[in-house]
Amino acid sequence: MPATSPSHAGRRPSPQASPQGPRSRWIALGVIATATLMTILDGSIVTVAMPAIQTDLGFSPAGLSWVVNSYLIAFGSLLLLAGRLGDLVGRKRVFLAGTAVFTAASVLAGVAADPATLIVARFLQGAGSAMAAAVGLGILVTLFTEPAERAKAIAVFSFTGAAGASAGAVLGGLLTDALTWHWIFFVNLPVGLVALAVAVPVLPRDRGLGLAAGADVLGALLVTSGLMLAIYTVVQAEARGWASASTIGLGVLAIALLAGFFARQATARTPLMPLRVLRSRTVAGANIVQMLMVAALFSFQILTALYLQKVLGYGAAGTGLAMLPASIAIGVVSLGVSSRLYARFGERDVLLVGLALLIGVLALLARVPVHANYVTDLLPAMLLAAGFGLAIPALTALGMSDAGEEDAGLASGLFNTTQQIGMALGVALLATLAASRTEGLAVRGEDRAAALTGGYHLAFTVGAGLLTAAFIVALLVLRRDVRSPRGSARASAQEAAEQG
């Protein structure tokens, strides 16, 4: 990737002031990881508390889904714009503003006394999360430029996201059972205030490239409205049907808006998203793999929790504790061995091993019985979830591998955007398949537990198929990393051929 784009050739990127020393850099990583943890935690913590929220605020079954959907729509649609704004006006400014908005919106959600207030607060939470998350990786890759240190930093960053998803179920259950659902939002206040207080002195100051380097207002409107409409269409498809006129019509309009955005970026003098970022085979492949992987793992994250509660009769706290071994396995692998493994073998090979383990997780869950024994039927799948601790740090490193100083925020926003699109697709596709299969089995006379289990089996099987597709894309599209022994030999041979 060139150091500067043609549109501002000759212009030097704004200097990125580093913190005073190595200790400050690791403290800065802690701040970024904390913000990521709050974002991921907030998504899973709400899921466990949904029944209590519905009872207390009087949500209708259809309206309750908007507690999740309003957050998802704001978060997913604003990531790309927020990432580019970080490059233009300064990533530190965008990070601080996003953390402040998220923290304030959490308080509003905690005091909400009616459905409308909670939905608005959740939308604002999503907007704040998008601002902080979009630039977090961009700050990280500019702080840690040495490969070994960057590998460790990415492993820590990835662990907070992976562990936060499972820890949210535990914390949500404990807070809801011991106190009230309001505290799942209030808990963000002290964490957010501490993160802001620490972030101000330790995050590097950066002026950004300036709005003149990419203030494409039309492009911003096209991509934000297109992504927002696309995610809205997907999350509503379960209720309205994939073949309904509204779903097809809105889907076509979303595609048209996004196509207009890419056409605009190809011709704009100062594009919001310079298309050079997508010309990297590694970056494009990593984003495709991530979308497929996240869509598949929705079935593990959400449907496993539903199986534990609706089929096996676990409570909220019990469900979180049952999934805790997965968090521990992910943490041990991502923090303990992942960086050393892909320093030795390369990110691509480690990613392939991680994906293979995750395929095993969903294959095991696709056979789980109605009357399961936790130790023999579920615990092996929880332990194989360690594959996520291999896959996500390697995938994150690949997704940010070609990001230059002027595009770090954009690459970070793009990586997070594909993650959210994958999540929305997973929610809509796998939840719809599970519900349809369950309904069909119930009509045939199966009891409730057997019908639900059959629905989950189908979703787990399709999820395994999506992971298999991700494995194939990674194998065929991503190039072997030059740090692996075979990759080094191949790279040397290619270099010799070019010189010859």
- Tell the residue number behind the tokens 């535990």, with chain if given: 170
Assigned domain for 128 exists: yes
Do residue 229 and residue 337 come from a single domain? no
Does 13 score more than 50 pLDDT?
A: no
Does 485 score more than 50 pLDDT?
A: no
Do residue 128 and residue 261 come from a single domain? no
Per-residue model confidence (pLDDT) at position 124:
93
The lowest-confidence range among 55-64, 114-123, 388-397 is 55-64
CA distances (Å), origin 407, targets 127, 279, 425: 21, 13, 27
Per-residue model confidence (pLDDT) at position 107:
93
Per-residue model confidence (pLDDT) at position 375:
92
Assigned domain for 498 exists: no
Per-residue model confidence (pLDDT) at position 374:
92
Does 378 score more than 80 pLDDT?
A: yes
Does 12 score more than 60 pLDDT?
A: no
pTM of the entire predicted model = 0.71
- Domain end residue (candidates: 269, 303, 333): 269
- How much of the chain, in percent, has pLDDT values that exceed 90? 18
CB 131 within 8 A of CB 82: yes
Assigned domain for 469 exists: yes
The whole-number average pLDDT for the span 222-245 is 78
Do residue 159 and residue 260 come from a single domain? no
- How many CB atoms neighbour CB 103 within 10 A? 22
Residue 363's φ and ψ, nearest 5 degrees, are -65, -40
Do residue 151 and residue 255 come from a single domain? no
Do residue 235 and residue 147 come from a single domain? no
CB 205 within 8 A of CB 17: yes
Assigned domain for 496 exists: no
Amino acid identity of residue 131, one-letter, is: M
Per-residue model confidence (pLDDT) at position 379:
93
The lowest-confidence range among 152-166, 229-243, 300-314, 462-476 is 152-166
Assigned domain for 497 exists: no
pLDDT band for position 163 (cuts 50, 70, 90): low
pLDDT band for position 416 (cuts 50, 70, 90): confident
Do residue 300 and residue 444 come from a single domain? yes
Do residue 312 and residue 172 come from a single domain? yes
Does 36 score more than 50 pLDDT?
A: yes
Mean pLDDT over each residue of the chain, to the nearest integer: 78
Does 191 score more than 70 pLDDT?
A: yes
Do residue 239 and residue 313 come from a single domain? no
Does 360 score more than 90 pLDDT?
A: yes
Per-residue model confidence (pLDDT) at position 210:
67
Do residue 284 and residue 397 come from a single domain? yes
Does 382 score more than 70 pLDDT?
A: yes
Per-residue model confidence (pLDDT) at position 287:
87
Q: What is the pLDDT of residues 301-354, one digit of tens each?
A: 778 888 888 899 887 678 778 888 887 888 788 777 777 787 788 888 889 999
pLDDT band for position 355 (cuts 50, 70, 90): very high
Domain that holds residue 236: 216-269
Do residue 52 and residue 110 come from a single domain? yes
Does 159 score more than 50 pLDDT?
A: yes
Assigned domain for 135 exists: yes
The whole-number average pLDDT for the span 259-280 is 78
Residue 16's φ and ψ, nearest 5 degrees, are -100, 105
Looking at the 3D structure of the chain, how many domains does it have?
2
Do residue 189 and residue 222 come from a single domain? no
* Paired tokens of 185: 């939002």
Does 215 score more than 50 pLDDT?
A: yes
Do residue 200 and residue 332 come from a single domain? yes
Amino acid identity of residue 349, one-letter, is: D
Per-residue model confidence (pLDDT) at position 22:
64
Does 460 score more than 90 pLDDT?
A: yes
- How much of the chain, in percent, has pLDDT values that exceed 70? 81
- Domain end residue (candidates: 207, 237, 269): 269
Does 45 score more than 60 pLDDT?
A: yes
Per-residue model confidence (pLDDT) at position 214:
59
Assigned domain for 286 exists: yes
The whole-number average pLDDT for the span 172-192 is 78
Assigned domain for 475 exists: yes
Q: Where is pLDDT greater, at 395 or 483?
A: 395
Question: The domain that contains 359 carries what CATH number?
Answer: 1.20.1250.20
